[in-house]
Structure 1
Amino acid sequence: MTNSPDPRRFAHVTEWVFDLDNTLYPHHSNLFSQIDVKMTAYVSELLQLPRDEARALQKELYKEYGTTLNGLMTRHGIDSDDFLNKVHDIDYSWVDPNPALGEAIKALPGRKFIFTNGDRGHAERTARQLGILDQFDEIFDIVAAGLTPKPARETYDKFVGLHRVDTPNAAMFEDLARNLSVPKAMGMATVLIVPRNFEPTFSEIWEQDPTFEDDVDFVTDDLTSFLNTILADIG
C-alpha cells in the first residue's frame, strides 16, 4: 500500500528526517518487541510488581508521558543511562540488511538524519545491521533531546535549532501519526510508515492516531519503494 508521492512536494526537499523503530526497518521485523519485553521487566524489577501489573503500568506511562523512560524518570527518578542500557540489550539480527534502502537514502539530495526517541547506541546498532548507517549525516536521540520525547514541540525545536534544519525544505518519515503533527506545523512534508499490507485490524499494533490524520501528507508500507519513486520524479 503506497500513497504515491507528489513530485511537487519533494522536488525542493534537502533535509530528510527519519524516525528509527518501525520506520527504517519494517514492522514485521518485530525488533521493538524485544525492547518492549525488557521495559516490562525493568518496571517489574524496579517496583517489585508481577509481570502483568508491570506491563499495564508501562503502557500507562507510555501513554501519559510519551515514553516509558520519561514516565519512570518523572514518577520514580530512575537513572536514564541504566534504563537505556538495559532495554536496548537486544538481538539485532532480527533485522534483515536492506542495501536497497541504503542506496535510496544515499541518492537523496541533501542531508539525512535519524531522529529517534531511543538512544544513539540503539540507533547506530540498528542502522549498522540494516547496512545504512553510513548514509546518515547525524543522529538526534533522546539524550540530545534532553530526555524529552517526541511529540513534544520543544524536542523538535531542539533538533531544528541544533542542526539548522530548513523546515520548509524538509520531509519527515514516522510510524506514529502524532509524531508528525509538529513537523507538519513547521512546514515539513510528512510521510507515515505503516505495517506491510496494512489493514484496519492492525490498529492496535500500529497504535493508530485518527486525531492526527490531517498531519499526514503521504502513507506507505514500503519505504524503499516510496523513496525510489521520489528519486525517479526528482531525478
Structure 2
Amino acid sequence: MTDLPDASHFSHVTDWVFDLDNTLYPHHTNLFSQIDVKMTAYVSELLSVPREEARALQKALYLEYGTTLKGLMERHAIDSDDFLEKVHDIDYSWLVPDPVLGAAIRQLPGRKFIFTNGDRGHAERTARQLGILDHFDDIFDIVAAGLTPKPARETYDKFAELYKIVGPNAAMFEDLARNLSAPKALGMTTVLIVPRNFEPTFAEIWERDLERSDDVDFVTDNLPEFLNSLVDAFNA
C-alpha cells in the first residue's frame, strides 16, 4: 500500500519492538475478535447485565482506561489473573504459521521484543502458532507493566529501563497510532501496521487516531514485506 522504506532510516536500530495483536498477525485474521467476545461475556457475568449493555460498557472502559482490564480493576477491583485467564482462553488454530515473517524477524540485527497489553501466555501461544516465538529475546506483557497498559508513558519507561533500551536506537511496530506517541517521544522510529487494502472508511481505530499521525514515521499493511525489504538492504 506504501513504498517500501529506505533502509537507511533503520540502519541505526539495535532493538526491534513489536506489538502483538493485529501487528504480528494480519488484522483480517480476526483472532482478537475471540478475545473481544470473551471480554464482553466477562463483563456481562460480573455485573449481571445483558450482553449489549456489557459490550457498550466494555468499549467505554477501553476508551477511558486503555484496556478493559484496567477499567474493571479501577471500578470493580477484579482479579486480574482471573480476567486474563478467561479472556485468553481462545482457539489459536485461526492463526496460519508465517515462515516469511519468522525469517525476516530472525535476520534483523539486534534484539527483538514483543510488547503487549495482553499477558505472556497469550503472547507465547500466539507467537508459537505463528512459528516466530523463538526469534524473540523476551516478552514484556501487561503484568510486567504493573497492569498499566499502553499508551501510558510510564509503561514505556518501565520497558526501556528493564531492557536498557535507548529510544533513538529502537523501532516500534504497532497497529494503534496512539500507542506510538510515547515511543516517538522517546526517539524511536515508529511504524504503524494497518489492515490489508486499508481504507480509512473501514478502520475506526485509525480514524480515532488521525490527530496522532505526526507520531507515525512509516505505515504498512504488509509487515513481512516491510521487514524483508530492510533485511535485504542490510545484507546487500
CA RMSD of aligned residues (A): 1.0
- Contact 1:195 1:206 survives alignment (8 Å): no
Q: Does structure 1 residue 225 correspond to structure 2 residue 225?
A: yes
1:211 maps to which residue?
A: 211
- Contact 1:112 1:136 survives alignment (8 Å): yes
- Contact 2:104 2:228 survives alignment (8 Å): yes
In structure 1, the residue corresponding to 2:183 is in which secondary structure? helix
Amino acid at match of 1:102: G
2:140 maps to which residue?
A: 140
1:176 maps to which residue?
A: 176
- Contact 2:40 2:51 survives alignment (8 Å): yes
Q: 1:209 to 1:111 in 2, by over 3 A?
A: same
1:191 maps to which residue?
A: 191
| Structure 1 residue 167, shift from structure 2 partner | 1.4
In structure 1, the residue corresponding to 2:5 is in which secondary structure? coil
In structure 1, the residue corresponding to 2:203 is in which secondary structure? helix
Q: Which moved more, 1:6-15 or 1:220-229?
A: 6-15
Amino acid at match of 2:226: F
1:82 maps to which residue?
A: 82
Q: 1:137 to 1:116 in 2, by over 3 A?
A: same
Hey, what's the Cα distance between the residues in 2 that align with 1:95 and 1:208? 27
Matches within 5 A, 1:16-95: 16-95=16-95
Q: Percent of counterpart pairs with the same letter?
A: 78
- Contact 1:92 1:126 survives alignment (8 Å): yes
Hey, what's the Cα distance between the residues in 1 that align with 2:3 and 2:228? 13
| Structure 1 residue 143, shift from structure 2 partner | 0.1
- Contact 2:113 2:140 survives alignment (8 Å): yes
- Contact 1:31 1:95 survives alignment (8 Å): yes
Hey, what's the Cα distance between the residues in 2 that align with 1:104 and 1:207? 30
TM-score normalised by the chain length of structure 1: 0.98
In structure 2, list runs of 5 or more residues that go unmatched: none
1:110 maps to which residue?
A: 110
TM-score normalised by the chain length of structure 2: 0.98
| Structure 1 residue 164, shift from structure 2 partner | 0.6
Hey, what's the Cα distance between the residues in 2 that align with 1:151 and 1:207? 17
| Structure 1 residue 2, shift from structure 2 partner | 2.9
In structure 2, the residue corresponding to 1:151 is in which secondary structure? coil
Hey, what's the Cα distance between the residues in 1 that align with 2:185 and 2:205? 26
| Structure 1 residue 207, shift from structure 2 partner | 5.7
Q: 1:208 to 1:3 in 2, by over 3 A?
A: farther
In structure 1, list runs of 5 or more residues that go unmatched: none
Hey, what's the Cα distance between the residues in 1 that align with 2:100 and 2:202? 26
- Contact 2:177 2:206 survives alignment (8 Å): no
| Structure 1 residue 205, shift from structure 2 partner | 5.8
| Structure 1 residue 6, shift from structure 2 partner | 2.2
In structure 1, the residue corresponding to 2:190 is in which secondary structure? strand
Q: Which runs of 4+ in 1 moved over 3 A?
A: 205-208
| Structure 1 residue 209, shift from structure 2 partner | 0.5
